């Protein structure tokens, strides 16, 4: 058996799904069923964590119509299973202590070794080191705008919602290196660019860049004196919104004193033009807790965030609050179809009225991230419903301006014209959060608006 068939694990494995080569939805190979007279097949199973470090001792079970094989991975994270029926789709399950299990299928080919790759997510890694981007700014640019130094204020909270204060500069790095896949990752782009292009690169006006070094400056900024706040929580009703309700109730239950909160939802039915008020601005947390139950009824369609966000910014600005109160709209939305919407109207209104728009939602909703970044709000990405607990647990300190954070500077390099005024540079920062399995980490999307 000297022929090998390989498969590739997508970079999307850094999401919370545990993916094998085919990841439960079929084989990732281009193999076809072998003729009946082919010899036995074999699998080489590679198991690693999400950063590619091999996992030894992983328990492998391969089963088919008339065969079951069990083995474990060696120190290199691989296991070989021989004498398998050719041309059959086999079930594979992978389990390792401290990691979420994975399962899927793989097609075998006679007289051939088929390589299949599995990446496991560390158990409970979802709750360790959630990132909150508090703001970015340009520190300096080169004369030909080919390089730029930027600063980012970044909080990292743990399971208890408190800022992790033991991280070091070596645990932070800029990742990503291209402008493809329709996502604005590691790109600098301007108003003329097409964010929906299949290959979002220099052909569309976007410029790729990279970072060759770690942080140029790194400091821990301790918590500041808290300020009173008024926050309007704007939530999208979806089939998964119930997973947010428990965390929202905990946040509202702790509300009191001079702090005010209101609750509204995006339109729940076709024909509704703007948000529905579920609870007025109040410091009575019990009223807000009761109102969250109304979110369990999902919307009929895909609501438009822009008009609701615009009007709720105005409502927060008009709320009767103590002098000097921080005013924030917290948008908790998941609508991926809003990626390319124009958010200039709510952005301009938020800046004019002194209201911060902050965003707690899915990664690809760039427009909401942009209005948050430009209005001085914070951004935190939710890729698993369990993130809401730690993040909303930190919400009081976030809204009051008292959450401690890291201030970090990086230099990024492109070509002449990459970082021209008016462009936005978008990238990912990876944080190697220390967990039971140190190779796991988290990533924060960073948007730098170049003045």
Q: How far is CA 53 from the centre of its chain?
A: 22
For the stretch 278-334, pLDDT in tens is 999 999 999 999 999 878 776 666 667 888 999 999 999 999 999 999 999 999 886
Q: What is the mean pLDDT of the chain?
A: 79
Tally of CB atoms within 10 A around 145: 19
Band (238; pLDDT cuts 50, 70, 90): low
Of 11 and 133, which is predicted with more confidence? 133
> Does the pLDDT of residue 184 top 50, yes or no?
no
Mean pLDDT for the stretch of residues 237-265: 85
Please determine, for residue 204, whether its predicted confidence score (pLDDT) is greater than 80: no
241 — pLDDT class (breaks 50, 70, 90): low
CB 437 within 8 A of CB 364: no
Query: Which of residues 199 and 349 earns the better pLDDT score?
Result: 349
pLDDT digits (tens, 9 = 90+) for 378-397: 999 876 777 888 899 999 99
pTM (predicted TM-score): 0.71
> How much is the pLDDT for 121?
75
CA dist 415 and 146 (Å) reads 4
pLDDT for the residue 365: 67
CATH no., domain 4-123: 2.60.40.1120
| Tokens found for residue 242 | 């119930």
DSSP 182-208: T--SSEEE-TT--TT-SS-SGGGT-EE
Coil vs helix vs strand at 317: helix
Higher pLDDT, 11 or 106: 106
Reported confidence tier of residue 10, pLDDT bands at 50, 70, 90: very low
The helix/strand/coil state of 390 is helix
- In degrees, to the nearest 5, what angle opens at C-alpha 433 toward C-alphas 428 and 435? 145
- The confidence score (pLDDT) of residue 253 equals 96
Confidence band, pLDDT 50/70/90 cuts, at residue 7: very low
Instruction: Show me where the domains of the chain are located.
Output: 4-123, 126-221+405-449, 229-400
Please give the pLDDT value at position 306: 87
Contact between residue 122 and residue 49 where contact means Cβ atoms under 8 Å apart? yes
In this prediction, residues 43-69 reach a mean pLDDT of: 87
- Hey, what's the torsion of the CAs at 314, 319, 325, 326, to 10 degrees? -30
On the question of pLDDT at 363 being above 70, the answer is no
Predicted local distance difference test score (pLDDT) of residue 405: 97
Question: Which regions of 336-422 does DSSP assign to beta strands (E)?
Answer: 356-361, 379-381, 405-413
434-448 pLDDT per residue, tens: 654 444 578 888 889
Contact 422, 192 (CB under 8 A): no
For residue 49, pLDDT beyond 80: no
- On the question of pLDDT at 35 being above 50, the answer is no
Q: What is the CATH number that goes with domain 229-400?
A: 3.40.50.410
pLDDT given at position 15? 26
């Amino acid at each position: 058996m000297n022929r090998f068939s390989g498969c590739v694990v997508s970079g999307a494995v850094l999401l919370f799904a545990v993916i094998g080569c085919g990841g439960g939805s079929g084989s990732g190979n281009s193999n076809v069923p072998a003729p009946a007279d082919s010899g036995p097949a074999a699998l080489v199973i590679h198991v690693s964590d999400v950063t590619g470090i091999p996992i030894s001792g992983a328990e492998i079970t391969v089963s088919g119509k008339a065969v079951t094989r069990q083995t474990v991975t060696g120190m290199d994270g691989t296991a070989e299973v021989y004498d398998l029926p050719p041309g059959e789709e086999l079930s594979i399950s992978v389990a390792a202590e401290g990691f979420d299990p994975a399962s899927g299928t793989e097609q075998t080919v006679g007289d051939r070794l088929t390589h299949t790759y599995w990446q496991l997510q560390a158990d409970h890694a979802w709750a360790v080191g959630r990132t909150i981007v508090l703001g970015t700014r340009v520190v300096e640019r080169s004369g030909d705008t080919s390089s730029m130094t930027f600063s980012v204020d970044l909080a990292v909270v743990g399971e208890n919602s408190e800022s992790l204060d033991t991280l070091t500069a070596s645990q932070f790095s800029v990742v990503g290196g291209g402008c493809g896949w329709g996502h604005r990752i590691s790109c600098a782009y301007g108003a003329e660019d097409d964010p929906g292009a299949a290959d979002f690169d220099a052909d569309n006006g976007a410029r790729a860049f990279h970072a060759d070094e770690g942080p140029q400056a790194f400091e821990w900024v301790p918590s500041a004196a808290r300020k009173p706040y008024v926050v309007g929580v704007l939530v999208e009703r979806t089939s998964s919104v119930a997973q947010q309700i428990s965390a929202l109730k905990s946040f509202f239950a702790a509300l009191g004193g001079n702090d005010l909160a209101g609750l509204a939802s995006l339109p729940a039915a076709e024909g509704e033009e703007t948000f529905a008020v579920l609870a007025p601005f109040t410091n009575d947390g019990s009223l807000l807790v009761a109102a969250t139950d109304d979110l369990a009824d999902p919307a009929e369609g895909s609501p438009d965030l822009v008009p609701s966000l615009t009007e709720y910014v105005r409502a927060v600005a008009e709320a009767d609050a103590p002098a000097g109160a921080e005013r924030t709209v917290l948008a908790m939305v998941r609508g991926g179809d809003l990626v390319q919407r124009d958010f200039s109207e709510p952005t301009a209104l938020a800046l004019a009225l002194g209201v911060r728009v902050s965003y707690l939602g899915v990664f690809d909703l760039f427009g909401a991230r942009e209005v948050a970044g430009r209005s001085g709000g914070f951004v935190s990405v939710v890729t698993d419903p369990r993130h809401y607990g730690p993040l909303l647990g930190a919400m009081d300190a976030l809204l009051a301006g008292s959450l401690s954070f890291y201030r970090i500077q990086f230099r990024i390099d492109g070509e002449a014209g990459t970082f021209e005024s008016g462009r936005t540079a978008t990238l990912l920062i990876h944080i190697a959060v220390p967990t039971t399995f140190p190779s796991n980490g988290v990533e924060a999307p960073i948007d730098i608006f170049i003045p």
